[in-house]
Structure 1
Amino acid sequence: MKDNVKTRLKPTLTRLAPSPTGWLHIGTARTALFNWLYAKHCGGQFFLRIEDTDQERSRETYVRDIIDGLKWLGLDWDGEIIYQHQQLDLYQKYIKKLLDEDAAYKKEGAIYFKVKSQKSKVKSEERIVFDDLIRGEIEVPLDKIDDFVIVKSDGSPLFLLTNIIDDSEMGITVVLRGEDHISNTPKQLLLAAGLGIEPPRYGHLPLILNPDRSKMSKRSEAPTALRDYQKDYLPAAVVNFLALLGWRERNVKGLRLEAEGRKEEEIYSLKDLIKGFDLDGIQKSPAVFDCQKLDWLNAQYIRRSKNYELRIKNKKLWEVIKDRVVKLSDIKKLSAEITNPPDFPAELLIFGKSNKEKTLAGLNAALKILSEMSPPDWESQEKLAAGLTKAVVNNQLSNGDVFWPVRVALSGQKQSPSPPELLWVLGKEEALKRIKKANDKIQNPNDKSISND
């Protein structure tokens, strides 16, 4: 039961066949991406099939989530979506064939596949051998495979049967799926022999593990459903991250960047991935879901986005905060820290080595110079920085006496964009208004009438 040349020369048709019994798993999204990339790389086609024969657990909500998730990732499919619950008559035809040919039998209401009925079709008659596209040749002794259920007692056909039938009917030639399916492959190859159909070639992808090397599950530190990432991450960043979960480029180079505290990382566009994706680059060892790496990639994609692409109207604001944004939810938080009038205790205005008198002097000096600067000067961060430096030098003050209280007056934060950036974003009127209120606050720290509005 080894693959033949004829199979390898067929057009590459891949598919994703999820069961709608839960939210689209991040591992299923990785499987979808690998099948999609391989089909595109080979000039083939990618199909979507919903395996919903388990009507008790299947939900339309989950079907919608699968479809929306693939669209969000940018993974389109060819043709119409196939729904298994619409294929029941087809399965009955094949079930009848197995029963008629004594390749299956009924027991306690269920239908079992008779493994020994296919012994003569196995080359060695003792083992089944298949060439895994990722792991190479795999052998399984026939005496290790017991007869198995293909139809439940309630008449519902099971995965092993419906899966191989639909792959044949759809003309699927390559199936990339998780390594937890390796044990299913010999059974499905035996079924294919019994049904008289040609199976696809299988490749089994490595598991995805948590950073502590434990198996990813619903109790994992990182969320396991794709929908949990859609609020905070850009689709391109997630695609890039998923592509690197168990695959390394061999034939194409992406944008190589230095990642903080780690080796260089590469950023790939979909075009890069399609060009470079091949099966030789898929690893056998487990892939580790590194949340820090995903965050880093997301930040890189965000920094390369235009303000209008993220529906941010204020271009200046975006230029100032984008290098501090890691997740999309950071945009609202960081924007609010600048645009909302700050609220802070008066003592925060005083730099560690300064005092109240020097702080007041610094604020007044900054007010005077900034007030005199022309509108064109307010469009230059360099000139605004020079204005603050002039306030330091002309009044024999330190940077902490001027830059620090101006930062706090404008943002209310110990850590924020630089004072020149804040001045540039807020504009002359709002910036001077905030500095004046900070001046009043430090002189009258207990005066509750000093509003932040």
Structure 2
Amino acid sequence: MSVVTRFAPSPTGYLHVGGARTALYSWLYAKSKGGEFVLRIEDTDIERSTEEAKQAILDGMQWLGLNWDTGPVYQTERFDRYKELIQKLLDEGKAYKCFMSSEELDAIREAQKEKGEKPRYPGTWRDRTDHPEGQPFVVRFKNPLEGSVTINDHVRGTIEISNSELDDLVIQRTDGTPTYNFCVVVDDWDMNITHVVRGEDHINNTPRQINILKALGAPIPEYAHVSMILGDDGKKLSKRHGAVSVMQYRDDGFLPQAVLNYLVRLGWSHGDQEVFTLDEMIEHFSLDGIGQSASAFNTEKLIWLNQHYIKSMPASDVAEHAKWHFDQLNIDITTGPSLESVIAIQADRVKTLKELAEISTYFYQDYDEFDANAAKKHLRPVARGPLELVKDKLLALEEWTPQSIQSAINATAEELEVGMGKVGMPLRVASTGGGNSPSLDVTLHLLSKDKVGERIDKALTFIANRENS
């Protein structure tokens, strides 16, 4: 039997961290078994579903690289199929029309609560045939009254629910639209889903869905209900913990590889290994390796992983994602050195791609003004002589290499009989606009000889204006 898994989000908001982890686990299991991964958009909640949310889900999945084999399938495009099967259940006596008003049902539930009973529909219309003409009705599934449902969950172990705990579920609303629990069942059947990976909040739905599958004569998939993700304060992950939208991590400068690596370890492990390539995740992943305990999100750990990937991934792969951040700053990277060469000298200095773009702008566009503190400290009148001499030596170089650049800086310090800092720091501020950069030899090499000459002139003008003010 070929494995088929699915990720089935509701488009009522962005793709959040918990959903992304569920998608990853489903995707990994399918890939590890040479199976198929289905993306299904469960948009039957028409009032709350939005086109923006649908697009946000697709964007998040594509950014993470969780490409689907089938889909996206939209439930709203399958209403005819749901209605066909609801009618089949009605014809077979496995479902029935219920004419109880919502007010009447609310009153019954309130009375049950007052008695300390579990609020539930009492089955009033289960066997009645005196249907009033022209009155609104819902369709309810005729849940078995005896026996129990056993779920052999890959994460939770054996779960047994007595059918007496379950009431007759509404499968079609008064307006004729099918409900979530019924659509899910039909979709899982029609799409040959063999393994359902989803959050533990769905455990209560599973026995109901299994009973409907049995009534339809459909095969029962295997289930894995994963625990929730907590914030680092032990409370359910929410906006107060920072970014919970997957695309916010892109905006904040995280690599998708780092996010995937972090998410896979939020509840699953393979020995003590912390860093996984995608191929390693696929090779080692199993549903039975998912733990039962809730996992706490640790932003510091994610930042550590992000730094690791920025430094260890090929610069060309990092550049694919870094370019987006330069675009956000309206920086045209075609006006300067290759992005790969900038990443090569900046990777050790940053935690995020956003930070990398922000500290690398001087490679592609002239700065408007010098960093105030750096200029105050290093662009003083005493720096004029070193800057003029080093400029002459740099512009006289026949080869513009890191080695020749460093030699020119060394020669300037020796000739003036000053420490390297007396030459290097004014030159760094002149060339980059600030007091921090990678080593000057590689920085100036990427800037080009003409650009360095122009910027030294700008610094000399600044010093002259400072003397005259």
Going from structure 1 to structure 2, the CA distance change for 1:356 and 1:94 (only over 3 Å counts) comes to closer
For residue 154 of structure 1, what is the aligned residue in structure 2?
A: 175
Determine if the alignment matches structure 1 residue 238 to structure 2 residue 247: no
Q: Distance in 2 between matches of 1:53 and 1:144?
A: 26
In structure 1, give the amino acid aligned to 2:353.
L
Aligned amino acid, residue 186 of structure 2? I
Q: CA deviation at 1:41?
A: 0.6
Deviation at 1:39, TM superposition (A): 0.8
| Paired letter, 2:423 | V
Decide whether the 8 Å contact of 1:111 with 1:149 is kept in 2. yes
Matched, 1:442 2:433: no
State the 1:366 CA deviation.
2.9
Residue matched to 2:281: 273
Q: Distance in 2 between matches of 1:160 and 1:214?
A: 28
> 2:391 is matched by which residue type in structure 1?
L
* Equivalent of 1:402 in 423, 428, 453: 423
168-177 or 387-396, which moves further after superposition?
387-396
The answer to whether the 8 Å contact 1:250/1:281 transfers is no
Please state if 1:27 is matched with 2:49.
no
| Structure 2 CA distance for aligned equivalents of residues 356 and 21 of structure 1 | 58
1:393-437 C-alpha deviation (Å, 9 max, x unpaired): 443323332222221111221222233233222222222332233
Shift of 1:38: 0.4
2:16 partner letter? H
1:168-211 C-alpha deviation (Å, 9 max, x unpaired): 22221100001111121122222223333222111011212222
Distance 1:11 1:250, change over 3 A: farther
Is this contact kept in 2: 1:351–1:401, CA < 8 A? no
CA RMSD of aligned residues (A): 3.0
Question: What is the CA distance between 1:446 and its match in structure 2?
Answer: 6.0
Matches within 5 A, 1:294-373: 294-303=302-311, 304-307=313-316, 309=320, 312-313=333-334, 314-315=337-338, 316-342=341-367, 343-344=369-370, 348-349=374-375, 351=377, 356=380, 358-372=382-396
Q: Distance in 2 between matches of 1:341 and 1:394?
A: 30
Deviation at 1:368, TM superposition (A): 4.5
In the superposition, relative to structure 1, how do residues 167 and 320 fare at CA in structure 2: closer, same or farther (>3 Å)? same
Which of residues 231, 245, 259 in structure 2 aligns to 1:225? 245
Residue 398 of structure 2, aligned match among 364, 369, 375 = 375
Quote how far apart the aligned CAs of 1:447 are.
5.5
How far apart in 1 are the matches of 2:381 and 2:242? 50
TM-score normalised by length of structure 1? 0.80
Separation in structure 2 between the aligned mates of residue 28 and residue 282 of structure 1, nearest angstrom: 15
Distance 2:11 2:371 in 1: 53
Task: Give the structure 2 partner of residue 262 of structure 1.
Answer: none
**Alignment gaps of 5+ in structure 1:** 1-9, 120-124, 254-264, 449-453
Q: 1:371 to 1:166 in 2, by over 3 A?
A: closer
Distance 1:72 1:347, change over 3 A: closer
Q: Which moved more, 1:290-299 or 1:44-53?
A: 290-299
For the 8 Å contact 1:391–1:402, the answer to whether it is kept is yes
Alpha-carbon distance change, 79 to 128 in structure 1, aligned in 2, over 3 angstroms: closer
Amino acid of the structure 2 residue aligned with 1:306: A
Higher alpha-carbon deviation: 64-73 or 203-212:
64-73
1:444 counterpart SS class:
helix
Q: Equivalent residue for 1:290?
A: 298
**Secondary structure of the equivalent of 1:66?**
helix
Counterpart residue identity of residue 197, structure 2:
L
Identity of aligned residues (%): 37
Amino acid at match of 1:422: T
Instruction: Spell out, residue by residue over 1:300-346, the C-alpha distance to the aligned partner (whole angstroms, 9 max, x if none).
Output: 44443435645655134443334334433344422323443342278
- Per the normalisation by structure 2, the TM-score is 0.78
* Partner AA of 1:18 in structure 2: P
Alpha-carbon separation, structure 1, partners of 2:374 and 2:28:
54
Between the aligned partners of 1:37 and 1:358, the Cα distance in structure 2 is 62
Equivalent of 1:17 in 8, 30, 43? 8
The offset of 1:18, in angstroms, is 1.9
Cα drift, residue 101 of structure 1: 4.9
Count of aligned pairs: 413
Supply the distance in 1 between the matched residues of 2:40 and 2:356 (Cα, whole angstroms).
37
Structure 2, unaligned stretches of length 5 or more? 101-136, 324-332
- The residue aligned with 2:108 is none
| Structure-2 change in CA distance of 1:433 and 1:159 (3 Å) | same
Q: Which whole-Å CA distance do the structure 1 matches of 2:231 and 2:395 have between them? A: 55
Are 1:98 and 1:104, in contact at CA under 8 Å, matched by a contact in 2?
A: yes
